[in-house]
Structure 1
Amino acid sequence: MTRPAAIISSATLVLVAIIVAVSNPSLVGAASEAASGDSSEADNSLVRSHSPSLGPDDAPVTIVEFFDPACEACRAFYPLTKKILNTYPDQVRLVVRYTPFHGEVSETAIRVLEAARLQGVFAPVLEALLARQNQWAAHGRFDEAAILEIANQAGLDSAKAQEQLDSPEVQAVFEQDKEDVKANQIRQTPTFFINGEQLDPFGMQELVDAVQREVEELSEAGEDS
């Protein structure tokens, strides 16, 4: 390439970059992030930095559950996921993604859970809401007062929660999780991913077996290294 041609080509590239930056600045940010390699494991469509989790943050095995607090199947799976966490206290963590498939009742319960996360009482409030799910969400019945009462008994500051339920911070989490539900083509709750791989076939024993395999494989890999 001749020198004048090289100068023209460089000028053209600069002009294109300026046009892209003006028309869609998010593309520039995405490109910069990709170039720098700054794509945190805790900030993608499966695991966001805001996502509530149970278990150690540095656990080598991550279960992601797309979860609806009004879902009876989610309630049925909770004792199992809790047992898995107790079985592998150092190796496994559970990340919860909000999935409001049951309409207003789900949305209200999710907002209460998010307020509980902000207050540092997510786990006890989650357990209480699931244990008494039939009091606020059975057969399509929606009792917002019961949700707040149960959460308050589990440690939620109700007065503070009233300010948090419709706050921009909680709304942003709610909207982001809905986008991630679509991005991952989630069609039922619960849906599980183990270290990024969707659980398929789906089932309770299948979840137990998949987690056990992942723990054992990582343990063997660590011994060999």
Structure 2
Amino acid sequence: MSAISAVSAQAETAPAFTPQQRQEIVDIMRQALKSDPSILSDAILALRQGAQAKAETDALKYVRQNHAAIQNAPAYAVRGNPNGDVTVVEFLDPRCGYCRSLVPVIDKLVASDPKLRLVEKIIPVLSDKSVLDSQAILAAAMQGGYDKMKRALMQDTTPPTIERIKQLASANGLNAEKLEADLHSSAVSAQINENLAQARGIGLDGTPTFIFGTASIAPGAMTMADMQNHIRDARKG
């Protein structure tokens, strides 16, 4: 019998702990926790880190399996070089303060990197106001006004209403009546649902969230230098 087989046999025949032994083990653990409470906090931290690592691994697996769909977008939502050597996907909510603060940073990033392809995925995750803004932006895209409406709404501090949206549409040279009619169109709903499905696929839990090629996923507001580092890693493959 091999050493491994012998150990297995002993394990199979070893008697279970008696109730008294189990109680002694519990008492030892309780005393240890009283003497050093950090044992419990360390254990909780390890569990959280393990769960986070698994979530990140699962998210990247989803990205790599679905990268063609994730990096695909209507022409109006693609910025920079349409044939760029690396694609950065940004999931953003137009009502998100962090997303709004990053608008000039993203503009500068795209302008500074002639080989970069950036894809914007509008997702309403914060509130009903986010839904209305998202619908308005995608409805504006149906008359060539995606970027104008996106910027107008993301700079606006007034709570969105249909009347406010129509005012902004008119101010930016769009047909306000058509935009209102297109808000609840099947095309707008389909695009929002597609973006949300991909967001769920990566386990998105906040905006903005960036996907750099198939190399990394980074949530939250980032500096331009941080983005450039992620892009550099993505280009390495």
TM-score, normalization by structure 1: 0.66
Conserved? CA contact 2:210–2:217, under 8 Å: yes
Aligned residues: 172
Q: Deviations over 1:39-90 (max 9, x none)?
A: 996x51x2333371222211122221110001111001111001101112x2
Rg (Cα) greater in structure? 2
The aligned counterpart of 2:158 is: 135
Structure 1 segments of 4+ aligned residues over 6 angstroms from their partners: none
Distance between the aligned counterparts of 1:210 and 1:188, measured in 2?
A: 17
Q: Does 1:103 align with 2:116?
A: no
Q: Does 1:120 align with 2:149?
A: no
The aligned counterpart of 1:80 is: 105
Q: Does 1:185 align with 2:203?
A: yes
Aligned residues: percent identity?
Answer: 23
Tell me the CA shift for residue 153 of structure 1.
1.4
Distance between the aligned counterparts of 1:172 and 1:69, measured in 2?
A: 18
Which runs of 5 or more residues in structure 2 are unaligned?
Answer: 1-64
Conserved? CA contact 2:208–2:219, under 8 Å: no
RMSD over aligned CA atoms reads 2.7
Conserved? CA contact 2:98–2:220, under 8 Å: no
Distance 1:202 1:102, change over 3 A: closer
Local SS of the residue matching 2:71: coil
1:204 equivalent among 222, 233, 236: 222
Distance 1:216 1:67, change over 3 A: closer
* AA aligned opposite 2:73: S
TM-score, normalization by structure 2: 0.63
Distance 1:67 1:217, change over 3 A: closer
Distance between the aligned counterparts of 2:97 and 2:176, measured in 1?
A: 25
Q: Does 1:63 align with 2:88?
A: yes
Tell me the CA shift for residue 97 of structure 1.
1.0
Which runs of 5 or more residues in structure 1 are unaligned?
Answer: 1-38, 137-141
